[in-house]
């Protein structure tokens, strides 16, 4: 954890949430978010990430545990007194108000004077490059424009914490990428703390200071994007973040920093033991597709090699994606750069592949 309880801006302390009294949607959540941090909650749907966001916003109450904001418990503070900005999945721009009225709304309910409001609204609109759209209705705007307005509205009353619930989900890919960039820029420029919920891992990896991967009501891993990708702590994270090859087997031998795994077809490979504890344990060995080398010449000296049969070879522009049959799996993917020396492989061809044992992580089964 990057910060401890005292200077954490937002803290979830052993928070649990249940809707029906039978199952927990959020199980024992502990999370500290530093001031100015951009934290993303990433996970498949139903993993509890949105519930956490809603508890923080005040629309859901925690069944157990405490949430603090700036050191103060906020469990009993109604949402409108929390002073948290929020951007909703479908923007939730009020359709019966103009853009300017939408932006003015939070200022109005705070009893701000007209001229002051107008100034702030203009500035907020300019901030998102929508200065000319004050008189329009939300329905007259494109998706991307609505997105900007929603952002401006969440920021116009200068909250220190802004929550975003899949804000880019409805946009097309290109626009989404632009907006990712704009949001992170804006957040850093204004120095606000952002808690961002998404199920899109690319979005999470590119935007966040830290990412909390949710599954089954728990944070599976909370780390900076690169750590998350390079060093997944369990097979869920490994599977969920990026593309991943999994080989199943049993731990045959284990030392401090290496272990030997007997794959189901009998092959023995070396791997870094991440969360395996003893010999005989089942394990899933994870190798990133881009860390597998098909070119013998480029193999590291200590590389482990395996025989493989090409099942499919796909041209994808910047890379080639090769599907191989390895160790009883026929879905072993290798990504190679579209380099001039890369030969086009044919299905059925027998090749040899290899990887560095450090890139091979033995995770829970």
Partner 1 sequence: MSDATAGNLSQAAAESRRTDAEQTGPMLAADGRPLKQSLNRALRAQKLRALALIAPLLLFLLVTFVAPIVDMLFRSVENQIVSETLPRTVMALEDWDETDLPSEDTYAALAYDFREAAERRRHTRLGSRLNYEQTGLSSIFRRSGRGIDDVGEVYADQFIALNAAWEEPATWVALMGDPDWIAAQAEWAATEDTEAREPSFRLATGIENVLPETADAYRSFARAIQAEARNPDSPVEEEPWNTVYLALYRDLAAAPASAITGYSGPEEALLREAADAVSGFETVNLRETFAEIEEGWVEMPVWGTIETFSDPYTAGYFLASVDLRLTPQGIEPVDENQRIYLLLFQRTIVLSLSIMGLCVILGYPIAFLLSNLPMRTSNLLLILVLLPFWTSLLVRTSAWKVLLQQQGVINDVLVWMGIVSDGARLALINNQLGTVIAMTHILLPFMILPLYSVMKTIPPSYVRAAKSLGATNWTAFWRVYFPQSVPGIGAGCILVFILSIGYYITPELVGGRTGIFISNRIAFHISDSLNWGLAAALGTILLVLVLVLYWLYDRIVGIDNVKLG
One residue of 14, 110, 188, 337 binding partner 1 per CB under 8 A:
110
Query: Residues, the chain, total?
Result: 365
Least separation in angstroms between residue 179's CB and partner 1 is 10
Residue choice 44, 59, 61, 71 for contact with partner 1 (CB under 8 A): 59
By CB under 8 A, residue 167 contacts partner 1: no
Q: How far apart are CA 48 and CA 62, in angstroms?
A: 12
Our finding on whether 88 is near partner 1 (CB under 8 A) is yes
Beta carbon nearer to partner 1, 75 or 178: 178
CA 225/CA 244 separation, integer angstroms: 16
Using CB under 8 A as the binding rule, the residues of this chain from 284 to 343 that contact partner 1 are: none
Place of tokens 């307005």: 149
Candidate segments 23-31, 141-149, 254-262, 283-291, binder of partner 1 by CB under 8 A: 141-149
> By C-beta, is 42 or 154 nearer to partner 1?
154
- CB of 355 vs partner 1, minimal distance in Å: 39
Residue selected from 21, 22, 96, 256 as contacting partner 1 according to rule CB under 8 A: 96
Q: Does 365 bind partner 1 (CB under 8 A)?
A: no
Q: Does 114 bind partner 1 (CB under 8 A)?
A: no
Could you give the CA distance from residue 157 to residue 85 in angstroms, rounded to a whole number? 8
The runs of H, that is alpha helices, within the chain are: 49-57, 99-109, 114-127, 143-155, 173-190, 201-207, 225-230, 235-240
Q: Does 153 bind partner 1 (CB under 8 A)?
A: yes
How far separated are the first and last CA of the chain, in Å rounded? 26
Alpha carbon distance 313, 294 (integer Å): 12
Write down the residue that tokens 């880019």 correspond to. Answer: 168
Determine which residue in the list 75, 90, 140, 331 makes contact with partner 1, applying CB under 8 A.
90
What lies within 8 Å, CB to CB, of 20 at 6+ separation is none
What's the rounded Cα separation, in Å, for the pair 133 and 83?
26
Q: Which of 10, 25, 74, 86 binds partner 1 (CB under 8 A)?
A: 86
Among 17, 37, 39, 58, binds partner 1 (CB under 8 A): 58
Can you tell me which of 29, 33, 39, 57 binds partner 1, judged by CB under 8 A?
57
Using the rule CB under 8 A, is 109 a contact of partner 1?
Answer: yes
50/221 with CB nearer partner 1: 50
DSSP-derived 3-state class of residue 284: strand
Neighbours of 58 (CB within 10 A): 20
Structure-block tokens of residue 108:
């109005």
Please report, for the chain, how many H helices and E strands are present, in that order. Answer: 8, 19
Q: Which is nearer to partner 1, 59 or 338 (CB)?
A: 59
Nearest to 274 by CA among 251, 302, 299, 300: 251
- Three-class DSSP category at 248: strand
Examine residue 69 and tell whether it contacts partner 1 (CB under 8 A). no
Could you say whether residue 78 binds partner 1 (CB under 8 A)? yes
CA-nearest of 83, 4, 62, 6 to 217 is: 62
For partner 1, the closer of residues 153 and 284 by Cβ is 153
Indicate whether 77 belongs to the interface with partner 1 (CB under 8 A).
no
Out of 18, 94, 190, 299, the only residue in the binding site for partner 1 (CB under 8 A) is 94
Cβ(197)–Cβ(41) below 8 Å: yes
- Min. distance of Cβ 174 from partner 1 in angstroms? 6
User: Which residue has 């951007």 as its token pair?
Assistant: 87
Among 45, 76, 115, 174, binds partner 1 (CB under 8 A): 174
Using rule CB under 8 A, residue 85 touches partner 1 = yes
Residues that bind partner 1 (CB under 8 A): 57-59, 78-86, 88-90, 92, 94-96, 105-106, 109-110, 129, 142, 144-145, 153-154, 157, 163, 174-175, 178
């Amino acid at each position: 954890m990057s910060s401890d309880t005292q200077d954490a801006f937002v803290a979830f302390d052993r928070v649990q949430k249940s809707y029906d009294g039978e199952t927990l949607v959020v199980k024992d959540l502990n999370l500290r978010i530093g001031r100015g941090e951009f934290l993303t909650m990433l996970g498949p749907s139903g993993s509890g990430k949105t519930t956490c966001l809603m508890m923080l916003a005040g629309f859901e109450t925690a069944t157990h545990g405490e949430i603090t904001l700036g050191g103060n418990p906020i469990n009993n503070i109604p949402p409108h007194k929390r002073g948290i900005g929020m951007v909703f999945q479908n923007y939730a721009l009020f359709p019966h108000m103009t853009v300017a009225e939408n932006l003015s709304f939070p200022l109005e309910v705070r009893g701000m004077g007209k001229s002051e409001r107008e100034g702030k609204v203009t500035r907020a609109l300019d901030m998102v490059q929508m200065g000319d759209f004050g008189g329009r209705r939300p329905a007259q705007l494109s998706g991307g424009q609505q997105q900007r307005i929603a952002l401006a509205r969440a920021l116009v009353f200068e909250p220190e914490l802004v929550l975003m619930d899949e804000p880019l989900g409805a946009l097309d890919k290109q626009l989404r990428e632009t907006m990712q960039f704009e949001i992170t820029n804006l957040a850093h420029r204004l120095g606000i703390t952002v808690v961002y919920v998404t199920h899109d891992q690319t979005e999470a990896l590119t935007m966040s200071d830290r990412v909390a991967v949710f599954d089954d009501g728990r944070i599976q891993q909370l780390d900076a994007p690169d750590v998350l990708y390079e060093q997944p702590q369990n097979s869920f994270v490994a599977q969920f973040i990026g593309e991943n090859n999994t080989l199943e087997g049993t731990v045959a031998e284990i030392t401090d920093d290496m272990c030997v795994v007997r794959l189901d077809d009998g092959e023995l490979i070396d791997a870094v033991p991440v969360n395996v504890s003893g010999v005989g344990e089942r394990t899933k060995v994870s190798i990133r597709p881009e860390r597998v080398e098909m070119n013998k010449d480029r193999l590291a000296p200590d590389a482990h090699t395996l025989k493989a049969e090409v099942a499919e070879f796909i041209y994808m522009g910047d890379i080639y994606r090769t599907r191989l049959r390895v160790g009883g799996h026929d879905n072993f993917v290798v990504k190679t750069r579209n380099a001039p020396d890369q030969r086009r492989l044919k299905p059925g061809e027998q090749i040899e592949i290899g990887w560095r044992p450090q890139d091979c992580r033995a995770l829970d089964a």
